[in-house]
Amino acid sequence: MDCGLAQMASRLGVLGGAGQSHHLVAIASGWALGGMVGRNAVRHESGALVSLVLKRFRSLGAAFACMWLSEMITGLGSLLLQFALGVWIYQKTGSVEDFSFALLTGTLPAFLLLPIAGACADLLDRRKVLIACDFLLLLLIGVLSFMIWLDALLVPAAMAMNGLVALIHLFRRPSYQVALSRLLPVNQLSQANGLRTLSDGLVQLAGPMLAGALMFQFGLTGILPLETLLIAAAVLLVLRAMRGATEPAAAGNTVGRLWRHSRSSLSKTMAYLNGQRAMFGLLIYMLLQVALITLVSSMLTPLVLARHGSDTLGMVMGCGAFGAIGGAIAVTISNPKRRLMRWIILSDLLLAVAVAMAGFVEKPLLWALAAMAAMACGSVSNSCTLSLWMRKTPLDWRGSLFSLLASINLAAVSAMLLAGGVLVERVLAPAMMPGGGLADLLGGWLGIGQGRGVALLFVLCGIGSLAISVFALLGTNLAQLDDMVEDAPIGLSESVA
C-alpha cells in the first residue's frame, strides 16, 4: 500500500524537491521496528529533523520569527476560548443543533466585515490593525470574566462570545497574511506557509489538550488567566516584529477611502478571477473541499462527546494536531516550488479517505489516528493552496483578495454548518438510533445509538470530498494550474509589513 502511494505521488510529481523526506521515513520506520534499535533510530532522526526545521526557520529572519510567534500565540488564545465555550455550550444543552448555531453566531458580522478587513490590510498600518484586534480580545476576556463572577453567563451570551472571538480572529487574519507575503521572496513562500501551518498544528496540539485539562479541573474560569497572558505576549511580539517598519497609511478620510477601496478591490478581484479561469477553478475546488471538511471538523465535538468526556475530545484533537505538525514539517523541509496543485489534490485524496474512515470506527484511539492522518494531509493542502494564491495574485489588493476568499468560504461553510447541524439533529441521528430508518441498513457498518448519526455524516462528507478530488485530477486540467497561470510580479518589501 505504501509503495502504491509512493508511485502515485511520483507520477503526480509531488515528491520532487523533497530531498529531506528520508528523515520522516526513518522516524516512521523506527517506530515500526520498536525495541532499542527502533528507539535509537527515532531519537537520531528526530534530532536531525528538528535541526533542519530550525535551520529553515532561522533563514527566514528575526522579524518573521516574531510575527510567526505572535500569530501562533493569538491562535492558541482564540482556540482555548472557543474550545472552552463550545464544550460549555454543548454540556449545558446537549444539542448538536444548538452547538452548530453556536459556531454560526459570528458568521453574519464576519461576512459583512471581511471586505473592510481586507481594505485595512491593504491601506492601514497593519501593526495597529493586529494590536487593535488583540486588545479587543483582552476586552472580551474581561467581560466574560465579569459575567462568570456574577454567575450571569447564559447559553445565548456564550454563543455571542464564541462568535465574537471567531470574528476578531477572522478580521485579524488578512493583515497577518499580507504581512507574511511581503516579508519574503516567492521562492520562500511555501517554506514560510509550511511554518505557518506548523504553528497552526502546534496550536491544535496544545490548545485542545490544555483546554480539556483546564475545563476538567477548573471549568471555564481556568481558561481566562492564561488567555490574558497569551494575548498580552502577542501584542509585545507584534511590536517587536514591526519595529521601524514603514507602513501604509490611508490619506484623507480614512473611512471613505476604506469603503472606496473595498468596492474597487472587489471589482478587480472578480475581473481577475474572470480572466484567469484556472484560478476561478481553484476557488471552486477550494470552496467545495473547505465546506465539506469544515463541516466534519465542527462535528468532531458531538461525535466524541456523545460517548466520552472533554478530556477524550482534547486527546483526539491533540493527536490530530500531531498529524498537522508532521504535514507542516514535510512542507517546510521540502519547500515545494513547482506543481503545488498536484500536492493539493493528492493531499485532499488522502484526507477524504481518513475522514470517511473516522465514521466507521468508535474507539478514541482509531478516531485519533484518523484525525492525525486527516490533519497531516490538510496541512500540506492548506500550505500549498495559500502559496498559490500568494504567488499568482497582485500585491496591491492581496489583502482584499484574501478577505474575499474568506467571505466566500465563510458563506459556504456557514450554510453547510447550519444544514449539517439540522441534518444530524433531525434526520441522521434519529435514523441511526435503535429502530430508526437507517439502523438496519447501516447499523452493521457504523453501529447504532448516540453519535452514529454524526458518524454517517463523516462517511458522506468523506465520499464527497474523495469524488471532488478524483474529478479535479482526472476530469479537468486543474492539476496543471502552476504552469497555466504566471506568477504575479512581486518585489521583496524593504519593510516588515
Greater confidence, 410 or 8? 410
Task: Give CA separation, 209 vs 76, 141, 423, in Å.
Answer: 11, 20, 29
DSSP state of 425: I
pTM over 0.75: no
Res. 213 pLDDT band, cuts 50 70 90: confident
pLDDT at 9 over 50: no
Report the pLDDT value the prediction gives residue 37, as an integer from 0 to 100: 46
Task: Give CA separation, 408 vs 32, 107, 388, 486, in Å.
Answer: 43, 11, 18, 24
Greater confidence, 232 or 62? 232
Hey, what amino acid is at 116? Answer: I
pLDDT, average across residues 292-311: 84
pLDDT, average across residues 228-242: 84
Tens of pLDDT along 306-361? 888 878 888 888 788 788 888 888 888 887 877 889 989 999 999 999 999 999 99
Report the pLDDT value the prediction gives residue 2, as an integer from 0 to 100: 36
Q: Which three cell numbers stand for residue 398?
A: 492581496
Report the pLDDT value the prediction gives residue 291, as an integer from 0 to 100: 82
| Cα separation, 387 vs 286, whole angstroms | 13
Q: Which residues in the chain are classed under CATH 1.20.1250.20? A: 60-243, 275-486
pLDDT at 486 over 90: no
Residue positions counted in the chain: 497
| Cα separation, 150 vs 152, whole angstroms | 5
| Cα separation, 303 vs 307, whole angstroms | 8
Q: Which three cell numbers stand for residue 93?
A: 444543552
Taking a C-beta distance cutoff of 8 angstroms, is the pair 66, 244 a contact?
A: no
| Cα separation, 436 vs 482, whole angstroms | 49
Report the pLDDT value the prediction gives residue 62, as an integer from 0 to 100: 77
pLDDT at 119 over 50: yes
Question: From the CB of residue 77, how many other CB atoms can be counted at a distance below 10 Å?
Answer: 28
Q: Supply the DSSP string of 10-71, one letter for each residue.
A: HHHTTTTT-TTTHHHHHHHHHHHH-HHHHHHHHHHHHHHHHHHHHHHHHHT-HHHHHHHHHH
Q: Find the range with the poorest average confidence among 65-74, 146-155, 245-254.
A: 245-254
Percent of the chain with pLDDT over 90: 15
Sign of the four-CA dihedral 289, 291, 292, 295: positive
Taking a C-beta distance cutoff of 8 angstroms, is the pair 400, 122 a contact?
A: yes
Looking at the domain that runs over 275-486, which CATH code has it been given?
Answer: 1.20.1250.20
| Cα separation, 491 vs 497, whole angstroms | 13
Taking a C-beta distance cutoff of 8 angstroms, is the pair 250, 120 a contact?
A: no
pLDDT at 246 over 70: no
Q: Supply the DSSP string of 180-225, one letter for each residue.
A: HHHHS-GGGHHHHHHHHHHHHHHHHHHHHHHHHHHHHHHGGGGTHH
What's the CATH superfamily of 60-243?
A: MFS general substrate transporter like domains (1.20.1250.20)
Task: Spell out the residues 6+ positions from residue 378 whose beta carbon is closer than 8 angstroms to its own.
Answer: 293, 324, 327, 347, 351
CB-based burial of residue 308 (10 Å sphere; 0-12 exposed, 13-18 middle, 19+ buried)?
middle
pLDDT at 131 over 80: yes
Q: Under DSSP, is residue 242 helix (H, G, I), strand (E, B) or coil?
A: coil
Greater confidence, 329 or 122? 329
| Cα separation, 460 vs 171, whole angstroms | 32
Mean pLDDT of the chain: 77
| Cα separation, 207 vs 77, whole angstroms | 8
Tens of pLDDT along 15-28? 333 344 444 444 44
Q: Which three cell numbers stand for residue 291?
A: 465546506
| Cα separation, 343 vs 12, whole angstroms | 8
| Cα separation, 240 vs 215, whole angstroms | 33
| Cα separation, 14 vs 144, whole angstroms | 47
* Packed helices 364-392 and 398-423: angle between N→C axes, nearest 10 degrees: 150
Q: Find the range with the poorest average confidence among 80-84, 115-119, 128-132, 343-347.
A: 115-119
pLDDT at 80 over 90: no
Tens of pLDDT along 145-185? 888 888 888 888 888 888 888 788 878 888 887 777 776 77
- Direct distance between the N- and C-terminal alpha carbons of the chain, in angstroms, rounded to an integer: 45
Report the pLDDT value the prediction gives residue 19, as an integer from 0 to 100: 41
Q: Find the range with the poorest average confidence among 365-369, 413-417, 463-467.
A: 413-417
| Most confident region among 92-96, 237-241, 488-492 by mean pLDDT | 237-241
DSSP state of 477: S
Report the pLDDT value the prediction gives residue 47, as an integer from 0 to 100: 66
Hey, what amino acid is at 373? Answer: A
Tens of pLDDT along 439-480? 999 988 898 998 899 999 999 999 999 999 999 999 888 989
Q: Find the range with the poorest average confidence among 9-18, 104-113, 126-135, 355-364.
A: 9-18
Res. 106 pLDDT band, cuts 50 70 90: low
